Structure 1
Amino acid sequence: MTTLDPDKLVFIDESGFDTKMTRRFGRAARGAPCVGAVPHGHWRNNTFIAGLRSDRIDAPMLIEGAMDGDAFCAWVEQMLAPTLREGDIVIP
């Protein structure tokens, strides 16, 4: 029976978000003002990608817009590959 060493696993995680997802209204105690900062005028999609290990995050990158093939290949070559060691298993 073969077992996997959790320290050798690298999971690729990609998450997207939009700054328009910010709430326009907040909560405060009755009679108290609700004060907070919200990004203004930057309504774009963003993508965050990273390699997740059992003990850390490797090669985090944030890009404006959606991830495409060229951006993904550049991330793998320039950011993820240098962090990999012999025996690592990358799981997309």
Structure 2
Amino acid sequence: MHPKADDEKHLIFLKKLAQFKFDDKPIIYLDESGLKSHENRPYGYSNKGEKCFGQYNWQLKNQTNAIGAIYNSQLFAVGLYDRSVNSDVFHRWVAQLLLPSLPKDSVIIMDMSEDQAKHGFARAQGESCARVGADVGLGQTKT
């Protein structure tokens, strides 16, 4: 668990997750990540037991961002974008790739803010079908 995580909220989340699993709801995990084509550092050297430091040019822009979901250990609804993932990109991904492939009564777990989740899912579902748990950021879609 992250050192800054709220233990009480974490327990609430685990209890809700256990209930969803008990109710046999499909649990969907989603995330996004950036892949940099120029990030090849096969070797690094330092004294034994010490960190290896290097230099990195943070101004390079060749990055592909991926958004995807996992259900039952299977990756699905993968979107690759050669641009930043902003709310418009996320909304399009939800509407075009994620929602059409979700099992009925899915519970979605993601690592973004509640506002981002509400905005992205509400826009994709016509402003009315998303419900995001205000207490722990746990959301459930109704398809």
Normalized against structure 1, the TM-score is what?
0.68
- Which residue identity does 1:11 align to in structure 2? Y
Verify: 1:75 aligned to 2:87, yes or no: no
Gaps of at least 5 residues in structure 2 are: 1-14, 44-60, 111-143
Residue deviations 1:6-31 (CA, integer Å, cap 9, x gap):
76111111111211202387xxxxxx
Identity of counterpart residues, as a percentage? 23
Change (3 A) 1:3 1:71: same
Shift of 1:54: 2.0
Measure, in 1, the Cα distance between the counterparts of 2:96 and 2:84: 18
Distance 2:101 2:28 in 1: 10
Distance change (3 Å), C-alpha of 1:45 and 1:86: same
Q: How does 1:1-92 map to 2 (within 5 A)?
A: 3-5=19-21, 8-23=26-41, 44-92=62-110
List 4+ stretches of structure 1 deviating above 6 A. none
- Identify if the C-alpha distance between structure 1 residues 46 and 65 changes in structure 2 by more than 3 Å, giving closer, same or farther: same
RMSD value over aligned CA atoms? Answer: 2.4
TM-score (norm 2): 0.46
TM-aligned CA distance change 1:24 to 1:54, over 3 Å:
closer
Which protein has the bigger strand share?
A: 1
Name the structure, 1 or 2, with higher relative contact order (CA <8 Å, separation 6+): 1
Displacement, 1:59? 0.3
Corresponding pairs, count? 75
Q: Distance in 2 between matches of 1:58 and 1:44?
A: 24
Q: Could you list the runs of 5+ residues in structure 1 that have no partner in the other structure? A: 26-42
The answer to whether the 8 A contact 1:7-1:55 is kept is: no
